[in-house]
Each structure stands twice: as C-alpha cells, then as structure tokens.
Structure 1
Amino acid sequence: MAVTSTKDIPIFYKFYFLWSDPLICLWAVYMDFFTPSVVVNAFIPSSIAPRNPQFDFLLQQLGGALLMLAILDVVLLRYSKDVMIWKILQAATLTYDLAMLYSTYDALKSQGRLSFASMRPAEDWGNVGITGLAVVVRSAFLLDVGMKGGKGRREKAI
C-alpha cells in the first residue's frame, strides 16, 4: 500500500523538509546576496582566481532560485497533505542537488583539487557534505525508506 497522506511521513522527513532544508536555503540566499566573496571562494579559491564582481548577478540569480525553493518548502509542503506533491517537489529539488554536486566536482577537477588532501575542510567538504546529505535524504524519501506502508518498510509475512 502506497503512502498517500503526510500523516504517514516520519517526523525526520517532516523536520528536514519543513525546517532544515528551508533554513539551509535561506542561509545560502543570504550568502549569495550579501557575502559573494565568501561564496565564490567556496568554489574557486582566491589563490586560483580573484572574484570578479561583474559576475555577482549569477549569485543573485542562484539566491533567487534558492529563495523560491525555501518558499515552496515552507508554504507548499505545509499547505498540501498529498504525499505525491511532496515527492514531486523533492524529485525536482534532487535534480538541483545533483547538478550542484556535479558542478562542485567539475570545479574541483578543473582546479586540479579532486584529491582528498587538496580539498578544504570548511568550503569543499562543507559543500559536498551538505548537498550530499540532501541527496541521501531526498533519495530515501522518494524510495519510501522508513515510510509507513511504503516500499522501504518490510511487510510481515502472513
């Protein structure tokens, strides 16, 4: 039997999608708009290339996309009791997370910094860790892991 109501969603997923995810998005929005040097340095160390303020509009667009996602998390997920709506939003957001992981990989590769030793703890591991956790949580949710009545729960043999 498939999960159809949000009352069947475990508290962990509810907390992550309704509170943690929007707060992470809002933190990133703040960073994109008000601390662009920190954001750029997180992907391209200033020792490799200095920040060019003419490209700040890209960070502002990224911030706008993350603000939209935060609003969808806060408003749409609280409005809808339909698990399929939750799954559609999480599937769409998962594609964004995967694009973020790929772009981080591509940036590190082009900078010759793919080895574990060359990755910076806060910036590189922080980016990969936060986004990687989101990928794991969203994937588990989409696969019904831990859901009442979902595929991720073992049924008792009769």
Structure 2
Amino acid sequence: MSSPTSTSGAAIPHPVPLVYRLFHLYLEPFSAIVGAAQSLFTTPTYLSIITQPNVYVSGAPLTSLNHLLLAQVASLYVLLGVFELTVLRPSRDLKIWRGAIVAISCSDVGHLYAAWVGQGGLEGTSGAFWDPRLWRGEEWINLGLTWFGFFLRLAFLAGVGMGGVKGARKRE
C-alpha cells in the first residue's frame, strides 16, 4: 500500500503517532497470535504464565471445560490480532482508530479482570496483580503488556502525543 501524497508530491504524515502504530500494528497482533497458539498447543505452559502457582498447579489434569475455555480465549486473541491488522493497519482515519481503540479498551477491562482472577483475586491472594515488584517473569510479559496496552490506549483516547484534542480533530 503506497503512502498518500499531497498535491505537491510530498508524503502526508500518518495522523497516528508512531508509538501507537508500533504497538497496535506490530507488537500486539504478534503477541495475540502467540498467545492464541500457546493457549491451544502448550496449554499447561500457558496456564502457568497467566496464573499464580497456587491457582494452577503445573501438571494438573485439564478437563474438557478447560480446553473449551482456552479455545475460546485463543479465538478472541486471533480476533484481536486480525482486527488490528485488517482494520487499523490500512486506515489513516482517526475516527476508525478511536472507535477501534474504545472497543479494545473495553476488552482490556475484561482481560484485566480475568488476569486478577488468575492471580488469585477471588481467593483474596492477588497481591502480585497490583504490585509489579512481586511479578514473576511471566507476569512482566502477561500483566505488563496488558497494563501497558490499556494505559497506551487511554493515552491515545486522551490525545496524548497527538497535538492535543484540537490538533487531533483538525487532522481528521
């Protein structure tokens, strides 16, 4: 896909700053597809990444319900990755970007709730969820990326790095 050009032949800068494009067009789709594959094909490893050892004991037998739910999770990860690649990648329209980011942010709330549950939130043992100093390497990947993505989306919606709300609206 070629870059749009102005009537003078100069390339028009993309209205979405680079940091948002790098995350939503490369890092997150890649991470989502990897997460989907882990959920489906290396299920015990995936469960040990997204939960505390007291929530999932490595090597514990998995039920058909576990496999069903993990296949659903994988499907949603694929949806997220493909959505970003097919809707955001070709678009320079800030209205489309904002709508997509609002939708993904709503999903982030559910994902963070699920992460809280996976960290022992329902049992009252979710201290690591709220305290990065207690995170294992797995949490830095899972929770760190989830929190970072959520706050990055909130920054996008607030107009951070986009020349303020007025500047962002002018570019539409």
Alignment TM-score, normalising by the size of structure 2: 0.74
Deviation, structure 1 residue 9: 1.4
Structure 1 segment 121-132 matched on structure 2, within 5 A = 121-132=136-147
Structure 2 unaligned runs (5+)? 1-11, 168-172
Deviation, structure 1 residue 38: 1.5
- Which amino acid in structure 2 is aligned with residue 8 of structure 1? P
Distance 1:65 1:6 in 2: 32
CA pair 103-47 structure 1, distance change in 2 beyond 3 A: closer
CA pair 58-151 structure 1, distance change in 2 beyond 3 A: same
Alignment TM-score, normalising by the size of structure 1: 0.80
Equivalent residue for 1:35, pick from 42, 51, 57:
42
Q: Choose between structure 1 and 2 for higher RCO, CA contacts under 8 A separated by at least 6 residues.
A: 1
* Structure 1 residues 78-134: Cα deviation after superposition (integer angstroms, max 9, x where no partner): 222211111111111111111111122233223443234895512334322110000
Question: Matched residue of 1:20: which SS?
Answer: helix
Give the match for residue 126 of structure 2: 114
Give yes or no for the alignment of 1:144 onto 2:149: no
- Which amino acid in structure 2 is aligned with residue 151 of structure 1? V
Question: Matched residue of 2:95: which SS?
Answer: helix
Structure 1 segment 21-60 matched on structure 2, within 5 A = 21-45=28-52, 48-49=55-56, 50-54=60-64, 55-60=66-71
The farther-off stretch of 37-46 and 112-121 is 112-121
CA pair 48-138 structure 1, distance change in 2 beyond 3 A: closer
Question: Matched residue of 2:25: which SS?
Answer: helix
Structure 1 segment 78-93 matched on structure 2, within 5 A = 78-93=89-104
CA pair 147-30 structure 1, distance change in 2 beyond 3 A: same
- Which amino acid in structure 1 is aligned with residue 78 of structure 2? L
CA pair 51-144 structure 1, distance change in 2 beyond 3 A: farther
Size of the aligned set, in residue pairs, is: 148
Structure 1 unaligned runs (5+)? 154-158
Kept in 2: contact 1:97–1:135 (CA 8 A): yes
Deviation, structure 1 residue 10: 1.1
Distance 1:6 1:64 in 2: 34
